[in-house]
Amino acid sequence: MLDIKYIREHAEEVKENCEQRRVKVDVDELLRLDGERLKLILRVEALRQERNEIAEKMKTPKAGRLERASPVARAGEREAFITRGKEVKQEIAELEPKLKTAEESANNLLLQVPNLTHPDTPRGESDADNRELKVIGKVSKPKFQPKSHVELAAQHDLIDFERGAKVAGTKFYFLKGKLAILEQALIRYGIDFSMREGFEFLMTPDVAKEEVMVGKGFLPRGPEKQVYYIEGEDLALIGSSEATVLGYHMNETLAADQLPKKYVALSHCFRREAGAYGRESYGLYRVHQFSKVEMFAFGAPDQSEAIHLEFLRLEEAFWKSLEIPFRVVDCCAGDLGGSDYRRYDLEAWMWGKNEGKGGWGEVTSTSNCLDFQARGLNIKSSNKEFVHTLNGTVVATPRALLSILENHQQADGSIKIPKVLQSYCGFEKIG
């Protein structure tokens, strides 16, 4: 979350940022509630101090003024203390619920305020306005008509969408045979790739408490509910290991001389994709469950921009090694997530998009979130400042499998396995 002090001092800037990010939040109402909250805090604290002073005066004095007074005077003054003590207690009892309501109302609005936006981030409303930075690899249409991964999977019996829907509902699926092995190869290669770069490997829980998900800047009960909740529990299935890795250091102080701390995590991810239908969702492109290998860093404020560029470099190197054409885009303000300060996406070429004409599809992203998430989860360094948090996808398996099938297909319908994965798979082609 943003620092409320910053919002008080830069209200117009925050309003403009919300507008650029396409986030509707009443900043004026937030500031009004914040002012009400501050007044109530001051009044309640003053009353609590007075209550403590009365209690101290009510104690049997040793050599004070009340001891030297006559019995009648002592009784009268004691009665006044009792009367005032009751009044203070009653006023505190009346104000504390109002304070709690004001705090909750202000906090609910504060959670809706997005992160600040990097000054070089392009302005725009959707991913159509993202700025292309570079294209790596050459997109050249083969001499035959390329098939979509859905057609290729049917040809080689690699995915069973029908039985996935029968067992778990639409957009769930079974991977079969060599494609299932290829997924495991991608996961292991992604982990090995990251560990060679100095990342510590974590296998995270597949669930997180709501306070962790909210603290990282996600509103799971918002208008597009993306989370599967576990009934009767304060738990939800995670949509990314971002929540669990951030929660790993929640309410902790990290040694400043050991920053940055870098992790690579494997998790199973679950997303309801509410509101997603109507957007591109063919085959494996948009599903409810998948595996993902993801990088994370907790760094000092003066480290985060360099770490962000490092994450982008590593994502490019990983996807280049898969021999798949892709482009890098600088995401516009309207396409950023609530916690993103700046985000770069990698979009691979996919022949199945646009009714077989082909197009770019997002396969990874990397975000610098500054101290936005660390503030919500209370993660500081030993120099008493909030750390900066960053994340970057190495590989989300459905879109990686999709990209490999469509870009490495051959004229006879077989699919070549990228060289870097052949030793992990134990075979060189499918079909």
Q: Comparing C-alpha atoms, which of 287, 286, 295 is closest to residue 267? A: 295
Angular region, 200: left φ>0, alpha ψ -120 to 50, beta rest: beta
The model scores a pTM over 0.85: yes
- Which residues, 6+ apart, have CB-to-CB distance to 328 below 8 Å? 132, 133, 134, 136, 312, 316, 344, 345, 346, 347
Q: What is the pLDDT of residue 49?
A: 86
One-letter amino acid of 236: A
Among the options 194, 240, 365, 367, which is catalytic?
Answer: 365
Q: What is the pLDDT of residues 196-224, one digit of tens each?
A: 999 999 999 999 998 998 888 776 555 44
- Active-site residue, from 286, 342, 343, 375: 286
Secondary structure (3-state) at 362? strand
pLDDT value of position 279: 57
Phi, psi of 7 (to 5 degrees): -65, -40
In contact, 267 and 291? CB cutoff 8 Å: yes
Instruction: Specify whether 367 is catalytic.
Output: no
| Measured CA distances, 96 to 34, 89, 91 (Å) | 15, 11, 9
Give the relative orientation of helices 27-58 and 71-110 as an angle to the nearest 10 degrees.
Answer: 160
3-state class of 430 per DSSP? strand
Q: Specify the pLDDT at position 275.
A: 53
The DSSP output letter for 229 is B
Q: Which of 183, 242, 362, 406 is catalytic?
A: 362
Kind of pairing between the strands at 207-208 and 289-299: unpaired
Q: Which of 271, 327, 343, 375 is catalytic?
A: 271
Annotation says 313 is catalytic: no
DSSP-assigned letters across all residues of 267-308? EEEE---TT-BTBS--TTSS-SEEEEEEEEEEE-TTTHHHHH
Q: How far is CA 384 from the centre of its chain?
A: 23
Q: What is the CATH number of domain 127-430?
A: 3.30.930.10
Angle subtended at Cα 123 by Cα 121 and Cα 129, rounded to the nearest 5 degrees: 100
Q: Annotate 375-418 with three-state secondary structure.
A: HHHCCEECCCCECEEEEEEEEEHHHHHHHHHHHCECCCCCEECC
Residue pointed to by tokens 């400042």? 385
- State residue 254 phi and psi, 5-degree precision: -95, 140
Placement of tokens 């909250």 in the chain = 37
Q: Among residues 374, 428, 404, which one has the least CA distance to residue 2?
A: 374
Q: What confidence score (pLDDT) does residue 304 get?
A: 97
Quick check: 391 and 202 in contact, CB under 8 A?
A: no
What mean pLDDT do residues 225-245 have? 90
> What is the token pair recorded at 79?
């009665």
Highest mean pLDDT among 73-87, 213-227, 322-336: 322-336
Confidence class of residue 281 from pLDDT cuts 50, 70 and 90? confident
What are the residue boundaries of the structural domains of the chain, listed by start?
A: 4-110, 127-430
Mean pLDDT rounded to a whole number for the chain: 91
According to CATH, the topology of domain 4-110 is Helix Hairpins (1.10.287)
Question: Active site includes 221?
Answer: no
Q: Is 365 a catalytic residue?
A: yes
pLDDT tens for residues 155-194? 999 999 999 999 999 999 999 999 999 999 999 999 999 9
Q: Which of 267, 399, 403, 406 is catalytic?
A: 399
d(CA 293, CA 420): 17
Q: What is the mean pLDDT of residues 132-144?
A: 93
What's the pLDDT tens digit per position in 360-409?
Answer: 999 999 999 999 999 999 999 999 999 999 999 999 999 999 999 999 99
